[in-house]
Chains A and B, each alone.
Chain A
Amino acid sequence: MEIPYVVTPRKDTGLFNSKIAIWLFLASEVMLFGGLFSGYVFLRMGADYPWPERTLPILPGLLNTFILIGSSVTVVFAWAALKMRNWMRFKIFMAITVLCAVTFMIFKGIEYNVKFHHQAVRLKDYTVLEGHLGKEMENDKPVLDHNGKEIEENTIRVKADSLTFNTVRFYKPWVEEALSEAKHRGSKVTLASDVEAVTEEGKGKQTIAKAGTPLSVDLLEEIAEVHLDARGHNADLRTAALKAEWKKAKQDNPGSKGWQLAANVSIDTEALNPRLLTEIGTVKFNVEPPCRLDFKPRHIQEGEGSSRLRDDTVVTGELLESPMVFHNIDAIDFTYLAMKAVERGVDPEVAIENSWVIQNKKWAREAWEWNKAQTAKLEDRLLKDYGVDRETGKPKREPTAKERYRIGWKEFVAMTDGADRGEGKTFLKEEFVGPDYAGREAKHTFPHAEIPREQVAFASKFTPSWNTYYAIYFTITGLHGLHVIGGALVLCYYLLFCRKMYLENPEWLANRVEVAGLFWHFVDLVWIFAFPIFYLM
């Protein structure tokens, strides 16, 4: 059996099979990215925070645009070379195409990597600070955690004196983590009291583990097993008892409806209790001496005296100071604060003056004063350049909210250089990876700061969790990146492994390259939409 129209087009439709298929596939892709792009529109229109405009470095994005457009051209040349049966030429152009894809992904990787290490924090008063988290230091040396890694200062610290695990839900890696952290700090985690349980019906209590047994996952699993056995056994007994009660109730009250009897049908607990096995829902361990344990903010619901982890482990002990320490702050953003002030009917400038960071940090006040002066200068210039609207009497153009209320790293650079906004000197590399902190350190361009935990409303790296802009940015560009990788792999396959096919049936290979080329054009097209909406608008 042979499938027709694999290589030659069908006469009445004028198409070979895979060409129809790729157009259909692209239609489906249009709907997929259409869904995501309409998600972008929906999120942007409905955003209740200042949508970050022109926030990404434009240069790498622009270069990527040209690279991808270029590769769309070379893939056509490669196809044309095949049509002309020129293998060498095909190889050259295909190699260029694949190289373009690789370069694209490298730029993308750099862009992502910068964001994964860049920290932002939103304070309770809606001030947003950006920068890099410091490492915990002691005597000018970084403190190492139990894994031998430096401790980044966004952890909630508890001086734990006991840990109570949920026997069903405890999360093994966390248990091991806590154990090794305690060991690192010279503490022992041991069972607080004897674990005793009735494990067989009709028999007395048995000791499962003695008080003082050190914590281990094996021990927890052993206890969990006892618990699960008992739970199952008891559930069976209770079910059987309830069934018997219902049978009796129905016999005694013929014609009654279920809901009428329900209130009076219940298990005879006194008769049943002696037969039940012991369920051990939680098990408590002491930490001796009490020691500091670090938790990621998302994993813990902290409380005075007692905190709860996501896996239902309860940590008791004093909550330690857990400030977020930035070793360089590269942006102070008051746009969100200003927006909230306007919503409340407060003058944004007043609200900013009253903000925690201006009240408490000298560097913030200095930067804000500098920025205000710059804004005044800008207002003057705009008034001079564009004049006043005759009807309203107001200036035709005014500084944007971003210009007024956001002090970014370029502003910090300009400020220390003594230059005006937008005139500070930056290096090409900085356009890709952000400010060169080490190189500029001598001038103290970027302030250090300690943010007490009670001021922190929400903190995140510049990852999808920071806000919906970064969420949709990573989703669309990430999915697009996967398309680039997938397409490049296919093109690579044609480049490296299709010599035999070329010799046997060059037209078939040309068809394949044509189809892959169409896909490649689509990948390019998606980027043509993604670039302006994320980088320019």
Chain B
Amino acid sequence: MSAHASSHSGHDAHADHHDHHDPGFLRKYVFSTDHKMIGIQYGITAMLFLAFGFFLMMVMRWSIAYPHEPLPGWMSWVFTENWKARWLVDGKVTGETYNMFGAMHGTIMVFLGIVPLGFGAFGNYVTPLQIGAPDMAFPRLNMASYWIYLLGGLVMCASFFMESGAAKSGWTNYSPLAGFADGQVVNQFMAGQTQWLIGLVLLITSSLLGSVNFITTIINLRARGLTWMRMPFFVWSMLVTGFLLLLAFPPLEAAGIMQLMDRVTHSSFFLPTGLFTKSEGLAEISGGGSPLLYQHLFWFLGHPEVYVLLLPAFACVAEIIPANTRKPLWGYKSMVYSVLVLGFLSFIVWAHHMYMTGMGAAVSTFFQTTTVLISVPSVIILTAMLISLWGGSIRFNPAMLWACAFIPMFGIGGLTGLPLAFNLADLHLHDTYYVIGHFHYVVAPGILFAFFGGVIHWYPKITGRYMSRTLNHLHFWPSLVCMNIIFFPMLLQGMAGFHRRWYNGGDGYLDKATALKGDGPNVFANTVAQHIDMNILMSMGAWTLALAQIPFIINLFISWKAGKKAESDNPWHATTLEWATPTPPGHGNFTTEPAVYRGPYEYSRPDHADDYLPQWIEPKEKAPKKTESHPA
């Protein structure tokens, strides 16, 4: 039980450490350069943004389910009287407001919620610990990265309070729509669309600093003996994520800069000749630009971005599963190779988002092929995780529940993506609720579930206490049910042709006279009539899902002070290096210089009495003198 014993010396050293130089409140909690504190800052900020994005969605779901009824008080109390008068008509959500909320829901969830939570929070907290590093390679850069992210997020969200409102051209911000939105605002720096772009450039700067830091740390700060193939899958995922952020974000930055030029200097990068709008007539621009160029640049980021969201989730699940099945991750090597191939392929599939742009059959076929190819490595990873369960003595603790739910939920998300990969099928499904259902299955019950599992898994390391099991169950089961209530009907509605941007849930397409019988002359109206009632079910599901998050929020804060204390530094009896640190780890992480002697997932070795053999335990055959430095 050397793993347990080491914790005592760890605690003592930790206490000493604090006495020597107390950095002061601001330095320790606000302007911290410690990767763990930055990770926590990222986590809390990202969760707040997620909650905000969730709230926007609840308002949208009201508009979809009850387009003719005023927003109920329990949602509208958030807004000021002036704001309601500006953006709601008789208390009802307008199309413009819905667009604004839709655009910001997507932006916030992707750029301000999931990426910072996965890469920023989990990556920051766990990666240096898992590779045995004292901190990130560039701690101050790490801090800058967080603050720039926060600034970018605030700039984007501040525009809700402006006369122009926040961005309202979808999270993809396609030109020329986005180029003209808010064009009436004289001072463009006070327009939501411009703020969105400025925020985006800041976020990209932040993720650039982050990814440079991560990759450098992983390459250069690995502990003695931690060779590439001994790195936990988590670290591999973070490495690939880092490269995706590093290389995929800059083209979007280029697009962002160009669109900013279009707005501020009135250039025409993305505005074609002869643009005519109802409000402005023939636009006073030179024209000659290319809207398609924007889409190419956007999706060149957009697709790798999907894997930036996904890989940290894979990373969390890959750590939770072996620890709780008590057997090695099945196919570790093939998973590593798959994640590398996945990273590479994700750069050459972007135009499958653009089948409808008329870029040509040959181009579409190419991207259809690469898109189908990329499903191979993802399926390898998912299958390896599934097989890892086989024959294990599974501990169904809360973290494991989330991880187990991740597999089928992400599976549904992934498989529903296949029809979208084929350009013929996509002609029908493009921009319908089917697409929404597909990627929300990936992101919400998929990625977020993995992150919830990750929070529970590393909570004892971060706080020294377990999260409450009861509250975890209260959170998990309703969430699982609600997620499916929300997203499964979307697939059905989508196949029936429900467009993703209907703010009234299809009400405008109903033939009111025949809708109940569903046998009117307008076939599409009949189809809409058959599926429109699902809207109410889905919205109910969404609001219940909000309630289901309350136990988690309570749990997160209550358990910090009042949770059951973790018995040791390695409460899950896991094998990777983060569990060799004192709990919580002090500044500098390790009390002795860590060294690694074996692969990351050595559970249930037949030649070993314990059912786990941590990476840092020296092999027995070594001279006994050395083990004294690692008290055994």
Binding site for B on A (CB under 8 A): 1-5, 10, 13, 15-18, 20-21, 24-25, 27-29, 31-36, 38-39, 42-43, 46-49, 168-169, 171, 173-174, 228, 231-236, 238-239, 241-243, 246, 257-263, 265, 267, 297-299, 301, 310-312, 458, 460, 463-468, 470-472, 474-475, 479
A residues less than 8 Å from B208 (CB atoms): 25, 28
B residues less than 8 Å from A265 (CB atoms): 68
Decide yes or no: A468 and B219 within 8 Å by CB, A47-B288, A239-B91, A263-B512 being known contacts.
Answer: no
Contact between chains at A468 and B220 (CB < 8 Å): no
Contact of B84 among A27, A35, A232, A311 (CB under 8 A): A232
Instruction: Find residues 526-563 in chain B having any chain A CB closer than 8 Å to their own CB.
Output: 532-533
Instruction: Find residues 174-217 in chain B having any chain A CB closer than 8 Å to their own CB.
Output: 184, 186-187, 208, 211-213, 215-216
- Assembly CA distance A168 to B165 (angstroms): 13
Decide yes or no: A43 and B293 within 8 Å by CB, A29-B250, A231-B82, A458-B286 being known contacts.
Answer: yes
Of A171, A231, A243, A464, chain B has the most CB atoms within 10 Å of the CB of A464
Lowest 8 CB-CB distances: which A-B pairs, in order?
Answer: A239-B91, A35-B254, A1-B588, A471-B267, A35-B251, A32-B250, A464-B267, A235-B85
Contact between chains at B257 and A479 (CB < 8 Å): yes
Binding site for A on B (CB under 8 A): 66-70, 81-82, 84-86, 88, 90-92, 134-135, 137-139, 163, 184, 186-187, 208, 211-213, 215-216, 219-221, 246-255, 257-258, 261, 265-269, 273, 280-281, 284-290, 292-293, 296-297, 300, 507, 510, 512, 515-516, 532-533, 587-589
B residues less than 8 Å from A262 (CB atoms): 67-68, 507
Decide yes or no: A259 and B512 within 8 Å by CB, A235-B88, A468-B269 being known contacts.
Answer: yes
B residues less than 8 Å from A474 (CB atoms): 261, 265, 267
Q: Which residue of B lies closest to A4 (CB)?
A: B221
Contact between chains at B220 and A15 (CB < 8 Å): yes
- Assembly CA distance A257 to B533 (angstroms): 9
A residues less than 8 Å from B138 (CB atoms): 3, 17-18, 21
Of B85, B163, B297, B516, chain A has the most CB atoms within 10 Å of the CB of B85
Q: Which residue of B lies closest to A464 (CB)?
A: B267
Decide yes or no: A35 and B253 within 8 Å by CB, A5-B221, A468-B267, A468-B286 being known contacts.
Answer: yes
Of A1, A15, A49, A241, chain B has the most CB atoms within 10 Å of the CB of A1
Give 8 A-B contacts (CB < 8 Å), ordered by A residue: A5-B220, A24-B212, A24-B216, A35-B255, A236-B81, A238-B90, A242-B90, A259-B68
Contact between chains at A235 and B81 (CB < 8 Å): yes
7 A-B pairs besides A24-B215, A468-B286, A468-B289 with CB distance below 8 A are A5-B137, A15-B219, A29-B250, A36-B257, A258-B69, A267-B90, A301-B281
Q: Which residue of B lies closest to A24 (CB)?
A: B212
B residues less than 8 Å from A301 (CB atoms): 280-281
Of B68, B268, B285, chain A has the most CB atoms within 10 Å of the CB of B68
Decide yes or no: A31 and B250 within 8 Å by CB, A39-B269, A267-B90 being known contacts.
Answer: yes
Contact of B266 among A46, A260, A465 (CB under 8 A): A465
Chain A nearest CB from B36 CB (Å) reads: 12
Contact between chains at B68 and A3 (CB < 8 Å): no
Chain A nearest CB from B557 CB (Å) reads: 29
Contact of B288 among A21, A48, A242 (CB under 8 A): A48
Contact between chains at A228 and B286 (CB < 8 Å): no
Q: Which residue of A lies closest to B508 (CB)?
A: A259
Contact between chains at A232 and B82 (CB < 8 Å): yes
A residues less than 8 Å from B246 (CB atoms): 24, 27-28, 31
A residues less than 8 Å from B252 (CB atoms): 35
- Assembly CA distance A39 to B286 (angstroms): 17
- Assembly CA distance A467 to B286 (angstroms): 5
Chain A nearest CB from B253 CB (Å) reads: 6
Decide yes or no: A464 and B261 within 8 Å by CB, A169-B184, A311-B184 being known contacts.
Answer: yes
A residues less than 8 Å from B261 (CB atoms): 464, 471, 474-475
Q: Which residue of A lies closest to B300 (CB)?
A: A35
- Assembly CA distance A260 to B91 (angstroms): 20
B residues less than 8 Å from A463 (CB atoms): 265
Chain B nearest CB from A165 CB (Å) reads: 13
